[in-house]
Amino acid sequence: MAISRERLVGVGATSPSVVMLLLWMVVPLGMTIWFSLHRYLLLQPGSYTLVGLENYAYFLQDPAFLNALWNTLVLVGSVLIITVVFGVAIALLLNQPFWGQGIARILAISPFFIMPTASGLIWKNLLMDPNSGFISWAMKSLSLEPIVWFSNWPLLSIILIVAWRWLPFATLILLTALQSLDEEQREAAQMDGARPIPYFLYIILPHLARAITVVVLIEMIFLLVVFAEIFVTTSGGPGSESTNLAFMIYKQALLQFDVGGASAGGVIAVVLANIIAIFLVRLIGKNLDEE
Amino acid sequence: MSYGKRLAGVAALALGLGVGATAQAVEITIATVNNADMIRMKNLSDQFEKKYADIELDWVVLNENTLRQRVTQDIATGGGQFDVMMIGTYEVPIWAEKGWLNELDFSDSYDVGDLLDPIRKGLSYEGDMYAAPFYGESTMTMYRQDLFDEAGLSMPANPTWGDIYERAQQLHKPDDDQFGVCLRGKPGWGQNAALVSTMVNSFGGRWFDMDWQPQLDTAAWHHAVSFYVDLLGNYGPPGASSNGFNENLSLFSGGKCAMWVDATVAAGMVTDPESSQVADEVAFAQAPHAVTEKGSKWLWSWALGIPSSTQKPEAAQKFVAWATSKEYTRLVAQKEGWRNAPPGTRKSLYQNPKYQKAAPFADKVLDAIQAARPQDSTLKESPYVGVQFVGISEFQGIGTSVGQQLAAALSGSKSVEQVLKSAQRSTKRTMKRSGYYDN
Amino acid sequence: MVNQARWQRVGWGVAAWLVALLMFFPIYWMIMTSFKTEAAAVSTPPSIVPMEPTLQNYETVFEQSDYFRFAWNSVVISLGSTMLGLLVAVPAAWAMAFIPSKRTKPTLLWMLSTKMLPPVGVLVPIYLLFRDWGLLDTLFGLTVVLMLMNLPIIVWMLYTYFREIPKDILESARMEGAGLWQEVVYILLPISLGGIASTVLLNVILAWNESFWSLNLTSSDAAPLTAFIASYTSPEGLFWAKLSAASTLAIAPILILGWFSQKQLVRGMTFGAVK
């Protein structure tokens, strides 16, 4: 009985915040769905009329849509793989005791502090520029042909820039999780003479599973709407090789000021994101259950 | 929604307190682009505040894209966040038509007649001015006299695109980090689409026919775009499809381009010894043309407008008049030299011998601006106003999509034929959606 | 044996430092660029250390904009939204972690997924609401929006940290007569300090760098550092050195904060008493 009363108190104490959360989740989504059913061109005052699903049809029929969808998936997928794989490696590395650990950690995490526009511009013009950038200078010094990043490898360039910003995030979360790995457990494993690889596979990786879920889900939220890096470097080109859904929606929302069309694009993006999220959770959720 | 009401209550309280504290002076908020001339205006604005002690200025300085988006959204929703806005030749007539801007009215001492005709017309709607020009620009050809001399070449004062092509061929030495010609390649309605529009005009093409049908699959577009891709792809810098104005400026200032066709505002920058390694070697010619000179040079001006949502129209009007006056030009000249006077708006500036001496490219800029006819920039008749853009609100999106296609042709990932076909299709789609026609 | 272990440690250390420096290099490059002239910033070959270091860019930046006002707004907005967010999220995450129901997981996922809505989709409606409520260009309005924006992330992260805490610890405290409040303040929070610290750090960073709402809902009074940066990106003309200086200034406060909280992070993690 005592426990169930506790339960009741708990529910009572938390419900306001949960309700508020839910409200905030519902209201913008509801508004977006509402506007997606209207013809609403901000630059044509008085154009506000109910049009049903026309906006969805318009957005889905865009010849660039499938391409943008594919680019979005490639961008999200590649950055996730890069950040999780290298994130685990770097977190393991930074978790070892070594001289100047604190400084090294903060250096490795700092790319996350740079605002996306600034990082995009700095990478584009100071590092990746085929004529005056540092990377092409370094390649020329090694007598290699400099890579023309944004013309020949537009999506890859953007993946690299975005991954550079999100790798520290993964590292930070995974590092925190690693540190909660029980000291005794670790020592015991070492006493038993556990080989590094099985130790990693059977002890560390399962322990990190939940942190990896966090990394994947939270990164996904932001990676699905990557925009600034694309905007300042390639503007979605050449062609639509580096156009993702967010850039398409941007064109609709802030160049055409087509609120209805952009809302439809937004709803489509949310639906797609949910499909991916469910798929991912199934995949990672298994890990969680085995634990 | 009760949460929202609570929010509103708190905010109203905070706002009430705020208003009480600053009831004395009128504060106006000015939204402006972060270009050097505007920054200078901001730095000199304490002179204005000295002159009008009852007006205080509050500044919002943002990059062009962010600013455009902010002010468009604010004016279209009647947000009332700004009292003065820096907007361009593209926005002014469109917004004036919708009644979003206040008509401007100047005293005699302002001397409206001194403003350059094409600039003033570009900022007018049905004969009335809705924004005051702060500076104006057209396009011109900049080239390296030293490289031309070395190769025994000369540049005609009014070159054709063919002239540019021949010279680019001869001066292109990629192994020495020297490229024949630099042009805009970065996608965007104000980037590559602007340059290509002027090329298309001069190759005899147009964006739309009189029924608003897009003309992107016509022969003129084909010629112009094939020429552009051939010229810049073969005799331009690597990665040209991501170069905008600034990237080209850094290439040219670093001595890597033999020629550069771009906005006249660049002239002041490439001849500035502080930031350009080739300051003494630059010479100027008119922007190139092809079958016609019509529409081969663009016209743009940054201008100050007053949104009709402002609560302080008088103070705003005073500021607009001050910042675009002869008095302001003199102030800049006196504090920072004639060279830095805002160009391209007033006849009197170009008649001033001191300015002519400080800015040797002045007469070329004036010629280019005078020659521009935004109302009549295409060989065949067209229904729109604008040289390097189409003065309809859909163009930002259309220009950017077409710009992306052009970049694909330039980078070689698609053929000119393919990109023009899909550009035509997507443009038609957008026009249809906006209700220009049904089929 | 001992020697070998020691060398191994040195090897790890060197590798860790190499990685850290590699990650940091673009920022190092940005900081170096901020001390170059605009012309030197894009000249080839690039100089690893500025040949003639200059403070000119910093002077320009300080002259041109009121850095401290922007920075102060950023501090208020990012700390404010994070603290507010924690207040709301701790109870919610507590409930989800310790009194889970069938709906807990779907709810969490759904919360997160609505964050995948591109913000441009709701810009106009929110702008209209803000206009009507008089919240445009107020610190309060922006703080609340950023709090709500990041709330799902805070809840989710806290939830995962809380779930790692063995339930019997809380139960034994309860047996000893601890109330809900005591349970949270004296048991839950200290145990999960590391998790909370990294959640806080993460959210401060996210709010600090949030450049969509902070640019669109403010104009001058409440404009944070993202607006400051936006006044140095892509003007007509060379701008990379000035942008580098402005970016360096914009990340300096948070780099310092990160530096301190990182120590906190590590200390918070050594919870030997648990289990």
Structural domains of chain C, count: 1
In a domain, residue A177? The reply is yes
Q: What is the rounded distance in angstroms from the CA atom of residue C219 to the CA atom of residue B62?
A: 10
Nearest-Cα residue of chain B relative to residue A242: B404
CATH of the domain at B128: 3.40.190.10
Residues of A whose CB is below 8 A from B3: 20, 23
Residues B173 and B89 in one domain: no
Q: What is the rounded distance in angstroms from the CA atom of residue A210 to the CA atom of residue B242?
A: 41
Q: What is the rounded distance in angstroms from the CA atom of residue B307 to the CA atom of residue A42?
A: 16
Domain that holds residue B254: 139-298+392-433
Among B358, B373, B401, give the residue marking a domain's end: B358
Q: Which of residues 64-83 of C touch A (CB under 8 A)?
A: none
Indicate which of A121, A231, A272 best probes the interface with C, i.e. most C CBs within 10 Å of its own CB: A121
In a domain, residue A71? The reply is yes
Whether the Cβ atoms of residue A250 and residue A138 lie closer than 8 Å to each other: no
C151 Cβ under 8 Å from any chain A Cβ: yes
Cβ contact, residue pair B405, A239, below 8 Å: yes
Residues B144 and B233 in one domain: yes
In a domain, residue B324? The reply is yes
Measured torsion, CA atoms of residues C224, C226, C227, C232, in degrees rounded to the nearest 10: 140
Query: CA angle at residue B119 from B117 to B120, to 5 degrees?
Result: 65
SS3 content of chain B, % helix, strand, coil (to 5): 50, 15, 35
> E strand or H helix at B60, and its extent?
strand B55-62
Cβ contact, residue pair C131, B82, below 8 Å: no
Structural domains of chain A, count: 1
Query: CA angle at residue A248 from A242 to A251, to 5 degrees?
Result: 115
Q: Which of residues 68-127 of A touch B (CB under 8 A)?
A: 124-125
Q: Nearest by CB to A107, from C21, C234, C270: name it.
A: C21
Nearest of B296, B245, B299, B264 to residue B92 by alpha carbon: B299
Q: What is the rounded distance in angstroms from the CA atom of residue B233 to the CA atom of residue B236?
A: 6
Q: What is the rounded distance in angstroms from the CA atom of residue B389 to the CA atom of residue B398?
A: 10
In a domain, residue A284? The reply is no
The beta-strand segments (E) located in B151-222 are: 179-182
Residues B293 and B406 in one domain: yes
> E strand or H helix at A259, and its extent?
helix A259-290
Structural domains of chain B, count: 2
What pLDDT is recorded for position B232?
97
Question: Distances in Å between the alpha carbon of B32 and those of A219, C228, C235?
Answer: 35, 13, 11
Residues B235 and B161 in one domain: yes
In a domain, residue B370? The reply is no
Residues of B whose CB is below 8 A from C119: none
Cβ contact, residue pair C235, B33, below 8 Å: yes
In a domain, residue A17? The reply is no
Mind telling me how many Å the CA of A239 is from chain B's nearest CA? 4
Indicate which of C115, C133, C212 best probes the interface with A, i.e. most A CBs within 10 Å of its own CB: C115
Instruction: Give the mean model confidence (pLDDT) for residues C198-213.
Output: 88
Mind telling me how many Å the CA of B90 is from chain A's nearest CA? 13
What pLDDT is recorded for position B13?
46
pLDDT in tens, B47-101: 999 999 999 999 999 999 999 999 999 999 999 999 999 999 999 999 999 999 9
The count of CB pairs under 8 A between chains A and C is 284
In a domain, residue B15? The reply is no
pLDDT in tens, B237-293: 999 999 999 999 999 999 999 999 999 999 989 998 888 999 999 999 999 999 999
Q: Please state, as a whole number, how many other Cβ atoms lie within 10 Å of the Cβ of residue C237.
A: 22
Nearest-Cα residue of chain C relative to residue B177: C44
Neighbours of chain A (3+ CB pairs under 8 A): B, C
pLDDT in tens, B1-55: 344 444 444 444 444 444 444 447 899 999 999 999 999 999 999 999 999 999 9
Give the 3-state DSSP-derived string for B321-385, with helices as H, strands as E and coil as C: HHHCCHHHHHHHHHHHCHHHCCCCCEHHHHHCHHHHHHCCCHHHHHHHHHHCCCCCCCCCCCCCC
Instruction: Give the mean model confidence (pLDDT) for residues C130-135.
Output: 92
CATH of the domain at A158: 1.10.3720.10
In a domain, residue B245? The reply is yes
Residues B334 and B425 in one domain: no
Nearest-Cα residue of chain C relative to residue A40: C124
Q: What is the rounded distance in angstroms from the CA atom of residue B5 to the CA atom of residue A24?
A: 14
Residue ranges of alpha helices (H) inside B22-160 are: 36-44, 46-51, 64-77, 91-97, 117-122, 145-150
Residues B146 and B77 in one domain: no
In a domain, residue B365? The reply is no
In a domain, residue A138? The reply is yes
What pLDDT is recorded for position A289?
44
pLDDT in tens, B184-226: 999 999 999 999 999 999 999 999 999 999 999 999 999 999 9
Least confident of A18-22, A164-168, B131-135, C92-96: A18-22
ipTM of the complex: 0.87
Nearest of A98, A277, A95, A107 to residue A174 by alpha carbon: A95
**DSSP string across A107-165:** HHHGGGGS-HHHHHHHIIIIIS-TTT-HHHHHHHHTT-PPP-HHHHSHHHHHHHHHHHH
Buried b (16+ CB within 10 A) or exposed e, A106-118: bbbbbbbbbbbbb
Mind telling me how many Å the CA of A233 is from chain B's nearest CA? 7
In a domain, residue B373? The reply is no
Domain that holds residue A114: 65-242
The pLDDT profile of chain A, 291 residues, written as one tens digit per residue, is 445 665 666 666 567 667 777 777 788 788 889 999 999 888 888 778 899 999 999 999 988 899 999 999 999 999 999 999 999 999 999 888 888 888 888 889 889 888 898 899 999 999 999 888 999 999 988 988 889 999 999 999 999 999 999 999 999 888 888 877 766 666 676 667 667 787 788 878 888 887 888 888 889 888 988 999 999 999 998 988 999 999 999 888 888 889 899 999 989 988 888 888 777 767 765 554 433
Query: CA angle at residue A32 from A29 to A36, to 5 degrees?
Result: 140
Nearest-Cα residue of chain A relative to residue C48: A134
Residues B28 and B167 in one domain: no
CATH of the domain at C157: 1.10.3720.10
Indicate which of C209, C212, C214, C275 best probes the interface with A, i.e. most A CBs within 10 Å of its own CB: C209
Residues B195 and B238 in one domain: yes
Asked if residue C263 has pLDDT above 80, the reply is no
Instruction: Give the mean model confidence (pLDDT) for residues C229-254.
Output: 91
What pLDDT is recorded for position B16?
43
Nearest-Cα residue of chain B relative to residue A41: B434
Instruction: Give the mean model confidence (pLDDT) for residues C182-192.
Output: 79
Sign of CA dihedral C21, C24, C27, C31: negative
Buried b (16+ CB within 10 A) or exposed e, A127-144: bbbbbbbbbbbeeeeeee
Domain that holds residue C74: 65-231
Residues B224 and B284 in one domain: yes
Residues of C whose CB is below 8 A from B66: 215, 230
In a domain, residue A1? The reply is no
